[in-house]
Structure 1
Amino acid sequence: MSENQQLRIGIMGGTFDPIHFGHLITAEEVRVQFELDQVIFVPCGVPPHKKKYDLTDARHRHLMVELAVADNPHFTTSRMEIDRDGPAYTIDTMRTFRERFGDACQLYFITGADAILEMLTWRDNESLIELCRFVAATRPGYELSELDRRLGPRHRARIDPVSVPGIEISSTDIRRRVRQGKPIQYLTPSATVSYIRKHALYQQPE
């Protein structure tokens, strides 16, 4: 059996503005449950749907992710989306990873259950579900029937819900705390905290 036939790769996209322990706990829980060889964190470049605030420069977001995952040998990062010109669509990203790892590799796209509910609005979603499986991270007690109600059987069959510890941390809250001069230790790795301080990130109102 070739090496590719054994590969199981998780792809975790997001703005990561900044990355925090909620992201890392989710990635590790999925890695263990699905026996993934690697989880690749992919900070987005220009999201196709307009954000309510201006994203922090992609270079900073990518470096914060690199620092946050440096001590986990199963985690790595990719600049694929931030180096791409124009909007970053999931279908383009997953096609590129499929070409890189080959057809024998099992790809898992990791995201939150709320994002999965919008899957039918994603570009070329019919092709996307053929490229990979989807892992929908849920909090304990999440009502899975919502996935059944909102998604058709073909899409639902490609989604694996995973319950992860309910850690109430958000990037929005971290940015707000930084602006207010409040501590963010224990919300994001120490290396990320130091980077935010060194580069004076999140000082301006959104």
Structure 2
Amino acid sequence: MGAESSTSMNSDGNNKNIETQVVLNVYDLTPINNYMVWFGFGIFHSGIEVHGKEYGFGAHDFPASGVFEVEPRSCPGFIYRSSIVLGHITMPPTEFRTFIENAASEYHGDTYHLISKNCNHFTDDISWRLTGKHIPGWVNRLARLGALCSCLLPESLQVTTVKQMPEYHDCSEEECTESVSTTTARESTEIDDDQEKSLLSPLAVSGDVTFVKEAHS
């Protein structure tokens, strides 16, 4: 079942309370998780579902929003595993939209990092801000272990995981760093329509994934 919202009206017909569930949708990055979870491990992607949309964080090469929205429990490139109700909030959709756009300005695609700033860090942060609760520890356990032992996750796995969302172009670490630095050095961080399309996978271009425009002051 999705996260349903209930609305109460006052005598003037205006919204008095809008309650919606905050749901964590968890996905497997690999079928191997079916075996790894028995040992308390797994490689997961997660998204936060609020007001009938799911929000996640993915990587791309630009200093612009890496926060995207999809239909709940249907994020392309991942295998849906389970949903966890984190709590309820009373926040109108318009107010939540402002909230998520502000959050998007803190989660640029070129700042994504598998160990220190991944999709699960994003959902944990959003959950904490909305409900005062963290996501279950097992969802991001591998990243925490990787932070303690950087050799735990090989570079090939890090690249594969990042590529699950917006397309990455193959390049060496130095070339990628140079590319990001060049983009960051531009006077404007806006991206045009052609660039925005290049961030998306073929599934995303068809409309399954939409990047959230970040709030600008």
Structure (1/2) with the larger strand percentage:
2
- TM-score, shorter chain, exceeding 0.5: no
